Structure 1
Amino acid sequence: MTAESLSPPARIAIVGAAVVIVLAGIRAAAPLLGPFLVAVFFAMITAPVMTWLTRRGVPPVLAAGTVVVALIGLLVGVLAFLGVAFTGFIRSLPQYQASLEGQAAGLADYGIDPGTFTVWDYIDQGYVIQQVAGLARQVGSITFDIFIVFVGIGFLLLEAPRLTAALARRLGPENSLYRHFSQSGRILIDYVVVRTKVNLITGVGTGLFLTLLGVDFAVLWGFVAFVLSYVPYIGLVAAAIPPTLLAFIEYGPAGAVAVIAAVALIDAAAENLVLPRMAGRELNLSPFVVLFSVILWGLVLGAVGVFLAIPLTIAVKLFLESWEETRWIGEMMGNGGRRE
């Protein structure tokens, strides 16, 4: 029996089953694939720096080492900032607990009778401590994964020219799959640049508003908004929760509503006005595809999948557009935008 002899529904069912099997295999291999995909992502976006250094006479090994050391320095700096900021926040928690219970009691002014309600009665502090302890136990595993990522970045940067040349010889420079592969690095870099610019607007705007409002740790929450905005739609919502609670503690319901409204306006302006003007046609994915990809890759790969959802979806889109039979699926994943 050949593929042509199968009815269209049968072929769709077979392809769907194959996709499910592949995704199940990826999920089972997520502990191994996660660090590898992160290494590939950073190797692709830092490849131009590697090329720039080698063209100026820097030996490839030294150039790759320089890129890796720079990434390590960036990571250490971010972790140091977060460590100092979160330490100050945790030390302030007892003060916030008393203020929060006072604000909850003040809800009677808005027609809400809290009675004997105390917020902390509904928070299982034992569960929170258990989760923190579990995270601390995973530090060793996380450290090992980070080590694997940086080693992988170094080797991928060194091997990239050879791998590209081998693919060119095997597929041919005119092959659509090779052309899409060679374009993927540029498209990924475009995505990172555009997404970072938009996130800067979101993070700086959120931080400035919280500073003007007088919310504690405004710089921290602005930075968290910047980082989590790499997760479309969902990330900024999660980033807005802590400053909203702090605004409620410090200024009551009016402060919380002000934060929610400001973050929503900043996000709407960044995502609907700034992003479409910056993004090229290749980066314009359907909003449904974006949201679905975040959920899908998050279920398959966990936290790595959430942050790499858009790059992975762009890769899938380019892969589908490499063949005439599947090109229509890749085109449907876009939103019909054109490069300006």
Structure 2
Amino acid sequence: MSEPSTETAAPAPAEWSIPRGLIVLLSLAAAVVTIAGLKAFSSVVGPVFLALMLTIAVQPIQSWARRKGWPTWLGMALALVSVVAILFGIGGALALSAVQLASLLPQYADQLNDLLDHGRGWLSDLGVSSDQIHKALSGIDVGKAAGVIEQILGGVLGVFSNLFFVLALLLFMAVDGMTMDRRMAIVARERPAIAQALGNFVIGTRQYLVVSTVFGAIVAVIDGGALWAMGVPLPILWGLLSFITNYIPNIGFVIGVIPPALLALLDSGPVLMIWVIVVYSVINFVIQSIIQPKFVGDAVGLGVTITFLSLVFWAWVIGALGALLAIPLTLLVKALLFDIDPTTRWADVLIGAPMEKKTAPHKKSGKTVAVETAVDKE
């Protein structure tokens, strides 16, 4: 018998891996650099994403024209005309109303002076010294009050400041949209998970826009009618402002009530201002804080906390346009960071996605399998 071999197999080399803590630090550093870049180029990022969102909103027009057998260029033209009509309609109405407001406010100089006199007397009764009262109220006048309201409207009008840039982007995106279906079919064949993530972003954005537009129109009609019934000047402007601020989650109606409440104070005194605030709060709280979040949550799968944090974050990064686009921007980030990888879709549970099973391509076989995105229902 041969003697057993004394040689032992060489140990396999240990695989080197990056420590998890280092991965977290690198990810945070990359996030900081990305956010800083977005903030530095916010004047470009905002209009680009606005054009993308509008293109997504009108893409069904191109699909409808294609199903009708019409030429692709005709569907593109119809979609582009629809977007241009929306932009110029809202922008023109806001600009015209802002001009009317600027010409109306100087008429309330006497009312503002009376309010300031009452304010001085009330502060004196509370024991506030005359010097402190003078410092607190000396800088208030109709011109500055008009400036505050115009600044609020200017933030809304700022959305349309890069109108020609947005229109150019819309034209190019509409041209690309004529072949987007074929491109996405190729992506779905080569990278099914990516195609599904982008598809979820498009569907979620479109559903969010539909829900917000419908509820915004309802709120605008009710608010405008209530202001007209109470005799507040320029009810159409404030109804239009309610429609636009409805796209700002959680605090949109708070922004929308400030200008009409101030104008009601100047026009008829504090009683009318209180009525405006009460009516706005009741109408908008019921619609925007109770009814609408249910539909928005079902459409986009974002919780209330994530929605509010998205508003704060994107408004800080991009500005007023970021507040209007907070939900679609968050949906895009969610698609690129979580939905694009089946192994990270568990994060949907944490950010408030509906608890249901979704189908997603298996990362190895490429076949469609059920992926659990939430806790199993019993």
TM class by smaller structure? 0.7 to 0.9
Query: Take 1:9 and 1:335, find their aligned partners in 2: how far apart are those partners?
Result: 28
Task: Note closer, same or farther for the CA distance 1:42–1:52 as it changes in structure 2 (3 Å cut).
Answer: same
Runs of 5+ consecutive residues of structure 2 not aligned to the other structure: 1-13, 358-378
1:127–1:6 Cα change, 3 Å: farther
The number of equivalent residue pairs is 333
Instruction: Give the TM-score, by structure 2 length.
Output: 0.76
What's 1:122 paired with?
A: 140
The amino acid across from 1:327 in the alignment is R
Q: Answer yes or no: is 1:224 the counterpart of 2:241.
A: yes
Q: Which moved more, 1:167-176 or 1:302-311?
A: 167-176
Q: Which residue of structure 1 aligns with residue 5 of structure 2?
A: none
User: 1:224: Cα distance to partner?
Assistant: 0.6
For residues 108 and 166 of structure 1, what CA distance do their matches in structure 2 show? 68
Cα distance in 1 for partners of 2:96, 2:180 equals 42
| Match of residue 61 from structure 1 | 73
Distance 1:312 1:63, change over 3 A: same
Aligned counterpart for 1:297 among listed residues 303, 306, 314: 314
Could you say if the C-alpha distance between residues 4 and 234 of structure 1 is closer, same or farther in structure 2, counting changes exceeding 3 Å? Answer: farther
Deviation of 1:337 after TM superposition, in Å, equals 6.9
2:218 to 201, 223, 232: 201
Inter-CA distance 192–142: structure 2 relative to 1 (3 Å threshold): closer
The percent of aligned pairs where both chains have the same amino acid is: 25
- Tell me the residue number matched to 2:260: 243
Q: Measure the CA separation in 1 of the matches of 2:271 and 2:323.
A: 32
Q: Return the alpha-carbon distance in structure 2 between the equivalents of residues 27 and 313 of structure 1.
A: 15
Residue 79 of structure 1: aligned partner: 91
> Which of structures 1 and 2 has the bigger CA Rg?
2
Cα offset for 1:273? 3.0
**Residue 340 of structure 2: aligned partner:** 322
Give, as a single letter, the amino acid of the residue that structure 1 aligns with 2:259: P
Cα distance in structure 1, aligned partners of 2:124 and 2:231: 26
Query: Aligned partners of 2:302 and 2:16: how far apart in 1?
Result: 32
Secondary structure of 1:121's partner?
Answer: coil
- In structure 2, what is the Cα distance between the partners aligned to 1:172 and 1:125? 62
Q: Would the aligned equivalents of 1:317 and 1:333 in 2 still touch at CA under 8 Å?
A: no
User: 2:199 is matched with which residue: 170, 182, 187?
Assistant: 182
Report the alpha carbon displacement of residue 19 of structure 1 after superposing the two structures with TM.
1.2
Does the 8 A contact of 1:281 with 1:337 survive in 2? no
**Structure 1 residues not aligned, in runs of 5+:** none
Give the letter for the 2:313 counterpart.
L
SS in 2 for 1:58: coil
Name the SS of the counterpart of 2:247 in structure 1: coil
| TM-score normalized by the length of structure 1 | 0.83
- Describe how 1:1-340 pairs up with structure 2 within 5 A: 5-107=17-119, 121-122=139-140, 145-160=162-177, 162-172=179-189, 175-279=192-296, 281-319=298-336, 320-334=338-352, 336=354
> Partner amino acid for 1:212?
A
Could you report, residue by residue, the CA deviation over 1:106-164 in whole angstroms, capped at 9, with x for unpaired residues?
A: 457978759776957236959988xx89x99xx9x966x32232222222223235344
Deviation at 1:29, TM superposition (A): 2.6
